[in-house]
Structure 1
Amino acid sequence: MSRFVHTAAVLIALASFTQPAAAQDGFRLGYTDVGATIGIGGIGAASVSFGLRFEHALRSVPDLGDGLIGIQAGVDYYSWSDPGFTLSYVPIGATANYHFKLENKKIDPFLGLGLGYSIVSCSYSGSGDLCSNSALYFIGRAGGRYFFNDRMALYGDVGAGAATLNVGVTMRLN
């Protein structure tokens, strides 16, 4: 966990010292990024989850505010243990995100809907059945990016997954 937190802190520090791009493009058609997230809240007493996000902007939607549709894939990981009980939870999901068009290209708000599959591994040594099964689930998500420069952005989302709130850093691939 500390290695992940350290890596995220280094990426954020590097982004804050990077010179702003001359032409800030923000989220645009063909944009692709990947990033790491840290999640808080969610699953019962969940404290912290770790995740990865990948998104690609597929098409513009001129009839719907001239925004963009992006397809996002994500995976999170959360584990918890107590004497007699262990749980690991890995939700994997895909969402179609609508990105609103704003004049300020540094800000990229979006809403998304999708489908996910949660992989649950659980063991319990007491009586009763406290473990849940792996299952499909619907995803509703709201989020955004704040671009430090043309290649790196602060990322955040709220919605389904191993955490209620995810924050992280994304890096543009193309």
Structure 2
Amino acid sequence: MASLRETVKEKPCKKHEDDIRESKAFHKELLQTKVDNLPCKKHGYDIEEVKQIGESTIEMLVYIKNWVMKRDPDMIDTLAQKASPLKMTPLGELFLEVSSAKKAVDNHLDYLIGELEKTKPRKPYDVDENSASVLSENTGGEIFDDIKQYLYESPDIITLIDPESKKEQEIKLSMHLVIRLMGIYLRDKYFERHPDIK
């Protein structure tokens, strides 16, 4: 037993002592490397740059999409009146109901107005532009589920009776048509909550 105690006192030997010290240092370094410290400064800038490029690309796509939507003659002539601001016709209001678009905005109004508020609109023009943008950015969400189902199940061109003229009107269906009309409706709802924007 005494010889065993002497042997233990001699451990670790000089040869293994350096190895153990090196292992402890490596272990300590591993403990200090935390996920909280990642990404490192070098790669953090790269990641931030990629995020900014992605956000900029999304903004450009939304801008282009809005530009295309404004130039759809079918929509402007029959479903929205050329006025300042653009106003929905009674036929546009009917289409908004039939397509479930009005219900979609009403059911998610607080969320959509919150998203619109994040854009910090200062003028009515900003609200008008950003309403369609906010909706475009949310087409992948549940807000648009019923609308997508309606568009999927409907023919390319539908016929509705214009509430004003009582005549049949053909409407060429598209998602950007729905978004533009929803944008007008959302814009008006936003103005109801923010009458201070003039």
- TM-score w.r.t. structure 1 length? 0.21
Higher helix share: 2
Q: TM-score, normalised by structure 2?
A: 0.19
Considering only CA atoms, is the larger Rg found in Structure 1 or Structure 2? 2
